[in-house]
Amino acid sequence: MSKFWSNIFGKKTAPKEEQIEDERGPHMPLKELPIEQTFAKKFTACGGKFVYCETFQDAKDAFLSVVKEYPTEIRELFCLDLVLAKKLDVGITLTKTNLNAKVMLCSCESIVAYDGSIVVCERQLGSNKLADLPETLVIIAGTSQFSKTVSEALKSIKHRYVDNIPLNITSIKQFKTDAMSDENYMNYGSSVKEVYLLLLEDFS
């Protein structure tokens, strides 16, 4: 596991590295954080729940943990990507139409370090508005999908799809936190979602 992921999950870093950081001095310019670390800090600070997965089996285990901890039984899983759902193989009835399902599973186009947001489009959402989706989103992404800014993420979408740019491009950046009151939730509206990001080292 890389130094970054060790830092995220509380592993010890080498004392020599910490000494180098201390020797930078108060007047030295701030060291720019790696893009992965910047995203993780912003995403979790906004209330997103972050799980690093080395394999798809890890992702499956993480997803099943989310289902197990859910306050009510999950009978249907909203997912428009049947290939992804089959690959994860969680044993829950799939639906592509029932927006009243409690949980949605999807991939994404990009994860943005600048504000900790996640960029999706019609390939994940179909024609549905974010506010109409299930209250809990479980999103699977790969470490190759980091972008520094939303603008960079949009450029990568244009480059990826060239002459067939998808519609319904949107950024998920309002996350429902455990500490959010019902009053605040109503103020933000139903576009606020409980978001779990399962980040795979190699996702394709």
Amino acid at 78: F
Torsion sign over Cα 156, 140, 115, 41: negative
Range of the domain at 144: 34-200
Question: Does a structural domain hold residue 8?
Answer: no
Question: Does a structural domain hold residue 7?
Answer: no
Angle, CA 33 vertex, CA 60 and CA 172 arms, to 5°: 50
pLDDT at position 113 over 50 = yes
Question: Does a structural domain hold residue 83?
Answer: yes
- Of 106, 174, 100, which is closest to residue 134 (Cα–Cα)? 100
Instruction: Give the pairing type, strands 76-78 and 49-53.
Output: unpaired
Question: Does a structural domain hold residue 193?
Answer: yes
Instruction: Determine which of 6-15, 108-117, 149-158 has the lowest per-residue pLDDT on average.
Output: 6-15
Rounded to an integer, the average pLDDT of 29-36 is: 76
- The tens digit of pLDDT for each residue in 83-105 reads 999 988 888 999 999 999 999 99
- The tens digit of pLDDT for each residue in 150-166 reads 999 999 999 999 989 99
pLDDT at position 185 over 60 = no
Question: Does a structural domain hold residue 19?
Answer: no
Is the Cβ–Cβ distance between 99 and 134 less than 8 Å?
Answer: yes
How far is CA 65 from each of CA 55, 82, 89, 164, rounded to the nearest angstrom? 16, 21, 14, 37
Question: Does a structural domain hold residue 62?
Answer: yes
Counted domains in the chain: 1
With bands split at pLDDT 50, 70 and 90, how would you rate the model's confidence at 73? confident
Question: Does a structural domain hold residue 16?
Answer: no
pLDDT at position 179 over 60 = no
Question: Does a structural domain hold residue 60?
Answer: yes
pTM of the model: 0.80
Q: Which pLDDT value is given to residue 70?
A: 85
The strand order across the sheet containing 146-147 reads 146-147, 110-112, 117-120, 170-172
In this structure, what CATH number is given to the domain that contains residue 188? 3.40.50.10420
Rounded to an integer, the average pLDDT of 174-191 is: 52
Rounded to an integer, the average pLDDT of 67-77 is: 88
- Rounded to whole angstroms, the Cα distance separating 4 from 36 reads 8
